[in-house]
């Protein structure tokens, strides 16, 4: 990247932010601008379709999953498929990606409406969108290198993850059943009918709404709602 070009570019600030964040100069800066733009502030490019990061998020989710799967396959040559699947889930789940995004400072670059109800998931969503942007801009091998050397190497503690119990849905169901309460997961709407489908699940305990979750599958949305409910039930915010 020509330093003179960056110096006089109208996107100079964004170029430098990405360089500081990930250690490389971006090529197609518009991909990264889109990756940082949440739908709550995105412009409409045609009726019902916004120039937001949702499509990049969908792509980044798939790319990140493949890269993490290969990394774990090589890292743990003698562990079975069940262990590898669980470890991948622990790395790419929404809560962990939110934490990673904040840890590397990605939260400071996101353009969003602060009053938007999806704020808790915005950091993780943007992390995936950024992976999608890097993939389209630089290719798979470059993206893999960035994730392994800039993210996993410095910010992912595999030993700690291995000790975690992550299946919040199973944990929550057991908790509720022990207390003789009812639990219902209501998938009451789909988001993004003109783009990738995302499911919105509301979790009810004893017919009272306790938590909500969003994901590209009902299972992922249920897990997100379960985690939120588990946090609430084990805090001072209990309903």
Q: How far apart are CA 228 and CA 223, in angstroms?
A: 9
pLDDT computed for residue 84 by the predictor:
87
Instruction: Reply yes or no on whether 207 is catalytic.
Output: no
Q: Domain ranges in the chain?
A: 10-163, 168-233
132: tokens are: 């999608």
d(CA 239, CA 235): 10
pLDDT in tens, 86-98: 788 889 888 889 8
Q: Find residue 200's DSSP bridge partners.
A: 189, 214
Q: Does domain 168-233 have CATH number 3.30.160.20?
A: yes
| Segment 8-50, tens digit of pLDDT | 566 677 778 888 888 888 888 889 988 988 777 667 767 666 7
* pLDDT one digit per residue (tens) for the chain, 239 residues: 555 555 656 667 777 888 888 888 888 888 998 898 877 766 776 766 677 788 899 999 999 999 999 999 999 998 888 788 878 888 988 888 988 998 988 888 888 777 655 556 788 889 999 999 999 999 999 999 999 999 999 999 888 887 765 577 888 888 888 888 999 999 877 766 566 677 889 999 998 999 988 877 787 788 888 888 888 877 644 44
Identical fold for domains 10-163 and 168-233, yes or no, is no
**213, 222 contact by CB (below 8 A):** yes
User: Could you say which of 54, 57, 61, 222 is catalytic?
Assistant: 61
Please tell us whether the domain made up of 10-163 is placed in CATH 2.60.40.420. Answer: no
201 within 8 A of 185, measured Cβ to Cβ: yes
Q: Which one, of 157, 164, 148, 198, lies nearest residue 23 by Cα?
A: 148
pTM for the model: 0.68
- Which one is catalytic: 54, 57, 125, 128? 128
DSSP the chain: --HHHHHH-TTHHHHHHHHHHHSS--SSHHHHHHHTB-TTTPPEEETTEE-SSHHHHHHHHHHHHHHHHHHHHHH-TTS-HHHHHHHHHHHHSHHHHHHHHHHTTGGGG-B--TT-TTHHHHHHHHHHHHHHHHHHHH-HHHHHHHIIIIIIHHH--HHHHHH----HHHHHHHHHHHTT--EEEEEEEEE-TTSS-EEEEEEEETTEEEEEEEESSHHHHHHHHHHHHHHHHTSTT--
CA dist., res. 135 & res. 31, Å (int):
10
Query: What does the pLDDT read at residue 193?
Result: 56
Q: Is 190 a catalytic residue?
A: no
């Amino acid at each position: 990247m020509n330093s003179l070009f960056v110096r006089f570019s109208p996107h100079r600030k964004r170029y430098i932010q990405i360089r500081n964040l990930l250690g490389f100069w971006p090529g197609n800066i518009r991909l990264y601008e889109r990756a940082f733009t949440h739908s709550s502030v995105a412009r409409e490019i045609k009726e019902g379709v916004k120039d937001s990061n949702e499509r990049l998020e969908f792509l980044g989710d798939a790319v990140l999953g493949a890269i993490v799967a290969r990394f774990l396959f090589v890292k743990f040559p003698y562990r079975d498929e069940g262990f590898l699947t669980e470890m991948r889930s622990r790395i790419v789940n929404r809560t962990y990606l939110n934490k990673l995004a904040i840890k590397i400072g990605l939260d400071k670059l996101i353009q969003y409406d602060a009053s938007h109800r999806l704020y808790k998931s915005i950091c993780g969503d943007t992390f995936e969108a950024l992976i999608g942007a890097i993939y389209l801009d630089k290719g798979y091998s470059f993206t893999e290198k960035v994730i392994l050397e800039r993210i996993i190497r410095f910010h992912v503690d595999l030993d700690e993850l291995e000790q975690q119990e992550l299946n919040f849905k199973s944990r929550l169901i057991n908790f509720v059943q022990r207390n003789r309460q009812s639990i219902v997961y209501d998938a009451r709407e789909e988001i993004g009918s003109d783009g990738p489908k995302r499911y919105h699940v509301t979790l009810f305990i004893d017919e009272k709404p306790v938590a909500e979750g969003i994901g590209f599958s009902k299972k992922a949305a249920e897990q997100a709602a379960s985690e939120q409910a588990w946090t609430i039930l084990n805090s001072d915010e209990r309903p």
